[in-house]
Amino acid sequence: MGITVGKCGSGAAEKHNYEYDLFVLGGGSGGISVAREASKFGAKVGLCDYVIPSGTGTVWGLGGTCVNVGCIPKKIMHHAALVGETLTEANFYGWDVNSNLPENKWADLVAGSQGHIKSLNWGYKLVLHEAAVKYFNEFASFVDSHTIKTTNSKGVSTNRTANRIVIAVGGRPRYLDIPGGMKDEFTVTSDDIFSLSYNPGDVLCVGGSYVALECASFLAGLGYTVTVMARSILLRGMDRQMAGYIQSNMEAKGIKFKLNCAPTSITKLSDGTPPTLQVTAKSADGVFNGEYNTVLVAIGRDAATKDLTLENAGVIVNPENGRIPTNSRDQTNVKNIYAIGDVADNRPELTPVAIKAGLLLARRLFDGRRVLMDYTRIPTTVYTQLEYSCVGLSEDEALEKYGKSSIEIYHTTFTPLEFQLPMKTEYVCYIKILTLKSDKERIVGFHYLGPNAGEVCQGFAVAIRLGARKSDLDATCGIHPTNAETATTLTITKSSGQQAVHTAC
Ligand code: FAD
C-alpha cells in the first residue's frame, strides 16, 4: 500500500498510509454527493453500496432510497393519480372523455416507473465512474476506525483502509412486531409497493407518517380502496391544523381512517396475486377485523447501523433510535469518521438535506472551505393528492418558542381557479403565515395546502431564508392568476377571529 499524499485543496493535503483519502459507506443521496464532490478536489475515493433484500425479497440498484424506493417512484405514482383526477375533470374543459373513463393499469405504471429508475441507476454508475470514484457493490462493516470490511454477494470479503470515512447508509422501513407482521410474513413496505408485481387491490396503510399518507393518496387516486390505520396522530411533528386538513381532504377522496387503532395480528386467508389477508386490530372501541389484499406498513424507519459493527471503530450511536450523533461539522465522536443523511441523528430525513450535507462536507474536508450545513428552515412537501408544503415552524412550535402574544398568524382558505369549472369543492385549500411581531413581523413559518405545493413553497423558502417579513410579501406583486399569489394578499389574522376566505380577483 503506497503513501497517499492528498492532491486535494488546502484542507486535505495530509500524508497518510491508507488506500483511500475517503471511503464512503452507502450510495444514496448523501453518499454519492460526498464521494463525487470529494473526487473533484483530487481525493482518492471509494464507495460501497449494498441493498439487503426487503421482507418480500425486493432489491434495487445504485442510488439509494430516493431514487429506487422513495421520492422518485412516489412522485411518479402521485403524478399518475393526478393525471387520473384531471381525466375526470377533462369534460368540463370540452374534452369528450365523459363516457369511457379509463382504468389505471398497475403493471404498465410499474413498468414505466421502474424503467426510468433503471436508467437512473445506470446514470449513477456512470457518474461515479466519470468522477473516478471506485464503486463496490458490497456490504460494509467496520474493522477499526480506518478499516472497512466490504463483503460481496458471494460472501467474499476485502479490507479497505481510508484516512477519512463517511457513513451514509440511510435507513429501512420498520415492520410490525405482531404475528403475521414480521419482516418475512405478510406485509409490504415502501421498499416493495412501487415495484409490486401485481395490482395491490384493497389496501390497508398502517401508520400516520407522511409515507403512509402519500402511499394511501396515490393508491386511492389510482382507483384502489384504501384505509389508513394509525395508532396515534397523523404527521407527528408537523402543524396540527394542517394535518387535520390533510386528513379531511383525504377523506373527501374516499380514504377511510381508523385512528387510535393498531393491528394485533395478520393472517393469510388465501394465496394469490394479490392475496387476501385478515387484519385484527385493537382500538378504544374494541376489536376490529378487516379483510385486505395488501397491508402496507409505514410506521417509521430504522437507521441501517445494526450490522455496521460501529463498536469496532468506537462510533457511538443513540441507543434510543440507532442513529449516529454528529456535531455541526457532521463529525461523529471519532475524529476521522463522519455521518450524513438519514443515518445522522436529529437531522431532517430528506434527499436535498443529505445531498447538500455531502457537498459541504467534501468541500470542508478537501477544499479547505468552512461552510457548515444549515439544518434549519428546510422546506418540505407532503405529496397527498392535494399537496401540502411548509417551511419554518409549525403553529404549535412558534407559540411554544415565542409565546402566543408574540406571534401574529395571517391565513386564508382559497379556491384555485382550476377548481372552478369542474366545481371541485371537496378539498380545503389553505395558506397560513406565522410572523414574529417583535422582529417586524419576520416570517417564522409558511404553510400552504393546495395544488403544486412543492413548486409554490420552494421560492418562499428562499425568501424566508433571507429573513422575509410580512411587509415584503405585501410589497411583492403577485403573479395572476396563480394560487401562490394568495401569499401576497393576506390580510386576515387568526387573532381577529374574522372568517378567513379569499375571494378571487
Ligand atoms: P439512502 O438514500 O437510504 O442511501 C443509503 C444507501 O446505503 C442505500 O443504498 C443502502 O442500501 C446502502 N447501505 C446501507 N447499509 C449499507 C452497508 N452496511 N454497506 C453498504 N451499503 C449500505 N425525501 C425528499 O426529500 N422528498 C421526498 O419526496 C421523499 N419521499 C420519500 C418517500 C419515501 C417512500 C421514502 C421512504 C423516503 C422519502 N424521502 C423523501 C426521504 C429520502 O429518500 C431520504 O431522506 C434520502 O434517500 C436519504 O439519503 P441517504 O443518503 O441518507 O440514504
CB of 360 closer than 6 angstroms to any ligand 1 atom: no
Q: Cα separation of 192 and 157, whole Å?
A: 28
Atom 33 of ligand 1, residue of closest alpha carbon: 70
The residues of the chain that CATH labels 3.50.50.60 are: 3-62+111-173+302-366, 193-299
Query: 458 CB contacts (<8 Å, ≥6 apart)?
Result: 379
What digits encode the pLDDT tens for the residues 178-219? Answer: 999 999 999 999 999 999 999 999 999 999 999 999 999 999
| For range 72-101, the mean pLDDT | 92
Atom 12 of ligand 1, residue of closest alpha carbon: 26
* ∠ Cα 220 260 190 (to 5°): 40
Atom 18 of ligand 1, residue of closest alpha carbon: 140
Residue 440, SS3? coil
Q: Cα separation of 316 and 335, whole Å?
A: 12
Using the predicted structure, report yes or no on whether residue 119 has a pLDDT greater than 80: yes
pLDDT of residue 395: 98
Using the predicted structure, report yes or no on whether residue 6 has a pLDDT greater than 50: no
pLDDT of residue 504: 58
Superfamily the domain 386-492 falls into: FAD/NAD-linked reductase, C-terminal dimerisation domain (3.30.390.30)
179 secondary structure, DSSP code: T
What digits encode the pLDDT tens for the residues 321-350? Answer: 999 999 999 999 999 999 999 999 999 999
pLDDT-derived band at 360 (thresholds 50, 70, 90) equals: very high
User: Ligand 1 test: best mutation among 50, 54, 66, most atoms within 8 Å of CB?
Assistant: 66
pLDDT-derived band at 1 (thresholds 50, 70, 90) equals: very low
pLDDT of residue 7: 44
* Cα 409 → chain centroid: 27
The rounded Å distance from CA 233 to ligand 1 centre is 24
Using the predicted structure, report yes or no on whether residue 12 has a pLDDT greater than 90: no
CATH topology of domain 3-62+111-173+302-366: FAD/NAD(P)-binding domain (3.50.50)
Using the predicted structure, report yes or no on whether residue 11 has a pLDDT greater than 90: no
Using the predicted structure, report yes or no on whether residue 502 has a pLDDT greater than 90: no
CB of 25 closer than 6 angstroms to any ligand 1 atom: yes
Query: 56 CB contacts (<8 Å, ≥6 apart)?
Result: 188, 192
pLDDT of residue 8: 45
pLDDT of residue 4: 41
Atom of ligand 1 nearest to the CA of 190: 34
Using the predicted structure, report yes or no on whether residue 505 has a pLDDT greater than 60: no
| Helical residues (DSSP H) of 177-256, grouped into ranges | 190-193, 210-221, 240-252
Distances in Å between the Cα of 234 and the Cα atoms of 78, 225, 430 are: 19, 19, 18
CB of 139 closer than 6 angstroms to any ligand 1 atom: yes
CA end-to-end span of the chain = 72
pLDDT-derived band at 101 (thresholds 50, 70, 90) equals: confident
Atom of ligand 1 nearest to the CA of 351: 25
Q: Cα separation of 379 and 446, whole Å?
A: 9
CB of 50 closer than 6 angstroms to any ligand 1 atom: yes
The residues of the chain that CATH labels 3.30.390.30 are: 386-492
CB of 82 closer than 6 angstroms to any ligand 1 atom: no
Q: Cα separation of 102 and 222, whole Å?
A: 11
CB of 49 closer than 6 angstroms to any ligand 1 atom: yes
Residue with grid cell 369543492, as numbered in its chain: 425
Residue with grid cell 399537496, as numbered in its chain: 387
Q: Cα separation of 444 and 377, whole Å?
A: 9
What digits encode the pLDDT tens for the residues 39-79? Answer: 999 999 999 999 999 999 999 999 999 999 999 999 999 99
Check if 480 is active-site: yes
Using the predicted structure, report yes or no on whether residue 3 has a pLDDT greater than 50: no
Q: Which CATH class is domain 193-299?
A: alpha beta
CB of 140 closer than 6 angstroms to any ligand 1 atom: yes
Q: Which of 129, 411, 447, 480 is catalytic?
A: 480
What digits encode the pLDDT tens for the residues 379-429? Answer: 999 999 999 999 999 999 999 999 999 999 999 999 999 999 999 998 999
The rounded Å distance from CA 71 to ligand 1 centre is 9
